[in-house]
Amino acid sequence: MSDSNFTKVYTGDFIIVKRIVSELENENISPIVKDQTESARLAGFGGGTFPGFQEIFVNNDELTKTLEIVSSITAALEDN
């Protein structure tokens, strides 16, 4: 069982992550973006399994609104 107050809401490439982060910030939601590949590179290790992929985490208090925004953006991208 995890005691974290944060939940991962999206994993994807840099461009889509930036779009989602921008929309969340417009709604006064402060996401945390993790880039395992970049972290490994900076630490002197090799790249990760999926280079260029990032993860977005948000506070559980903001989860409902965040999931609506993420769903809206990903649905729009799938329609194109």
Residue with tokens 């590179």: 41
Q: Which of 38, 33, 39 has the alpha carbon at shortest distance from 10?
A: 33
Phi-psi region of 78 (alpha: psi -120 to 50; beta: other; left: phi over 0): alpha
Beta strands 6-13 and 32-34, pairing class: unpaired
Within the chain, strands assigned E span 6-13, 32-34, 53-59
The tens digit of pLDDT for each residue in 27-77 reads: 999 999 998 665 555 545 555 555 568 999 999 999 999 999 999 999 998
Question: Could you give the domains of the chain?
Answer: 6-79 (3.30.70)
Contact assessment for residue 17 and residue 56, using Cβ atoms and an 8 Å cutoff: yes
The reported pTM is: 0.78
